[in-house]
C-alpha cells in the first residue's frame, strides 16, 4: 500500500482492567482489594497509566497528520470497510478481536502496556509510535500477510476468521470431549480434553504451551494438537499432532452433549450440539499487517 492511499484511519482501543473493573466498580472484590492497597492490584493501576499515556500520544500524533480518523473502544467496533488503516491500541486481545472485522484493510498493532502484555504481533509501542507513523506515511514500512482459518459448522461458515487458533472442547474444563477427527483419509474416534488448531501466527500461544511447535510467521501450514488424549482400552491414537499442508482440511464431528468451539480465545464462542460437524481450513482472506522488526 502506498502512503498516499492512507486517506482514513480507524483507531480501536481497549479499556484497561483498572478502568473497567475498579474505576467503574464492576468488580467489588477488586475495588476492596485496591482500596486496601493490596500489592497485586497495583499492577492494574500501572498498566492503566501506561495505556492511557500511549493512547494520548497516538491520537495526538495522528491528529498532527491531518488524516481523517475515528477512535473507538473495542467493544463498539462497527464496519471498517471505509478505512484504509486500522490501528489497535492495547494488547494481543485487542488486535485479535479487531482482526475479525478486517478484510482487505491494513492493520497495525500498538502495545500500549509492554510491561504487562506480550504483544506477539504488536511491533510498536506508545514511545516509538510517532517515529514509526512518519515512516508509514512515507511508505517506509514492510507488511506481512498472516494466514487465517475459516471455520464452518454444519456447512455454514462462521463470521470470524481465526487469526490465532480454534479450540474444540467440552463446555466444562473438567469434562472430556468425545468426537470423530478426520484429516485427509485418516479418521479416528477420540476422547480428550479437546483439540487445538492453530495458524502460524498462533503457534507461539496456547498450542505451543500445550506441546506444539513454533512455526515461521508467514507459514501457510495448519497445526493441530490433541490436548491430553485419553485412549482408554486402545494403545494409542494415530492423529495426535502435526503440521498440515496449505490445502489440508480438518473435520470434527462432535459426539459430546455439551461442547463449545472457541475462536481466538474467548473472543468468539460457538456452542455445539451433539452431532454437529466442524470443518476447519485455510481462509482465502489473509490479514495484511504492518510489522517493524523489534
Domains recognised in the chain with CATH numbers: 3-141 (3.40.50.10330), 149-283 (2.60.200.30)
What is the tens place of the pLDDT at every residue in 64-89? 999 999 999 988 888 899 999 999 99
The predicted model scores a pTM of 0.91
Report the C-alpha gap between 103 and 105 in whole angstroms.
Answer: 6
Give the pLDDT confidence score for residue 294 in this predicted structure: 59
Q: What does the pLDDT average to over 50-63?
A: 96
- At 56, the pLDDT band (50, 70, 90 cuts) reads very high
Asked if residues 58 and 126 have their Cβ atoms less than 8 Å apart, the reply is yes
Give the pLDDT confidence score for residue 232 in this predicted structure: 78
Report the C-alpha gap between 178 and 272 in whole angstroms.
Answer: 12
- At 154, the pLDDT band (50, 70, 90 cuts) reads very high
What is the tens place of the pLDDT at every residue in 22-46? 988 889 999 999 999 998 888 999 9
DSSP letters for 79-143: --TT-SEEEEEESHHHHHHHHTT-SSSEEEEEES-TTT---TT--EETTTHHHHHHHHHTT---E
- At 147, the pLDDT band (50, 70, 90 cuts) reads very high
**Grid cell 491500541 — which residue?**
89
Give the pLDDT confidence score for residue 1 in this predicted structure: 47
Give the pLDDT confidence score for residue 160 in this predicted structure: 85
Q: What does the pLDDT average to over 143-152?
A: 96
Burial class (CB in 10 A: 0-12, 13-18, 19+), 154: exposed
139 dihedral zone (left: phi>0; alpha: psi -120 to 50; beta): left
What is the tens place of the pLDDT at every residue in 97-130? 999 999 889 999 999 999 888 888 898 999 999 9
Give the pLDDT confidence score for residue 26 in this predicted structure: 86
Q: What does the pLDDT average to over 178-199?
A: 97
Q: Kindly tell me if the per-residue pLDDT of 3 is higher than 70.
A: no
What is the tens place of the pLDDT at every residue in 241-272? 999 999 999 999 999 999 999 999 887 899 99
Give the pLDDT confidence score for residue 230 in this predicted structure: 92
According to DSSP, the residues that pair with 289 across neighbouring strands are 107, 144
Q: Kindly tell me if the per-residue pLDDT of 216 is higher than 90.
A: yes
Give the pLDDT confidence score for residue 176 in this predicted structure: 96
- At 182, the pLDDT band (50, 70, 90 cuts) reads very high
Q: Kindly tell me if the per-residue pLDDT of 163 is higher than 60.
A: yes
Report the C-alpha gap between 155 and 281 in whole angstroms.
Answer: 12
Amino acid at each position: 500500500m502506498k502512503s498516499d492511499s492512507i486517506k482514513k484511519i480507524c483507531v480501536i482501543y481497549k479499556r484497561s482492567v483498572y478502568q473497567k473493573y475498579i474505576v467503574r466498580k464492576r468488580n467489588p472484590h477488586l475495588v476492596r482489594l485496591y482500596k486496601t492497597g493490596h500489592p497485586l492490584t497495583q499492577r492494574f493501576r500501572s498498566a492503566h497509566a501506561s495505556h492511557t499515556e500511549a493512547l494520548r500520544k497516538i491520537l495526538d500524533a495522528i491528529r498532527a497528520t491531518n488524516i481523517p480518523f475515528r477512535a473507538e473502544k473495542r467493544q463498539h467496533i462497527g464496519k471498517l470497510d471505509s478505512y484504509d488503516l486500522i490501528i489497535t491500541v492495547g494488547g494481543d486481545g485487542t488486535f485479535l478481536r479487531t482482526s475479525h472485522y478486517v478484510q482487505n484493510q491494513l492493520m497495525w498493532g500498538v502495545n500500549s502496556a509492554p510491561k504487562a502484555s506480550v504483544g506477539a504481533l504488536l511491533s510498536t509501542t506508545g514511545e516509538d509510535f510517532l517515529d514509526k507513523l512518519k515512516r508509514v506515511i512515507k511508505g517506509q514500512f514492510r507488511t506481512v500477510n498472516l494466514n487465517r482459518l475459516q471455520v464452518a459448522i454444519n456447512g455454514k461458515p462462521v463470521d470470524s476468521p481465526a487469526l490465532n487458533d480454534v479450540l474444540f472442547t467440552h463446555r466444562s474444563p473438567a469434562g472430556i470431549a468425545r468426537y470423530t477427527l478426520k484429516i485427509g483419509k485418516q479418521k479416528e474416534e477420540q476422547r480428550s480434553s479437546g483439540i487445538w488448531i492453530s495458524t502460524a501466527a498462533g503457534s507461539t500461544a496456547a498450542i505451543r504451551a500445550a506441546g506444539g511447535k513454533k512455526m515461521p510467521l508467514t507459514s501457510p501450514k495448519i497445526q493441530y494438537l490433541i490436548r491430553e488424549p485419553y485412549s482408554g482400552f486402545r494403545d494409542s491414537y494415530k492423529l495426535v499432532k502435526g503440521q498440515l499442508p496449505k490445502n489440508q482440511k480438518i473435520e470434527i464431528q462432535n459426539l459430546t452433549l455439551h461442547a463449545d468451539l472457541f475462536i481466538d480465545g474467548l473472543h468468539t464462542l460457538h456452542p455445539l450440539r451433539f452431532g454437529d460437524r466442524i470443518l476447519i481450513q485455510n481462509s482465502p482472506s489473509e490479514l495484511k499487517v504492518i510489522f517493524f522488526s523489534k
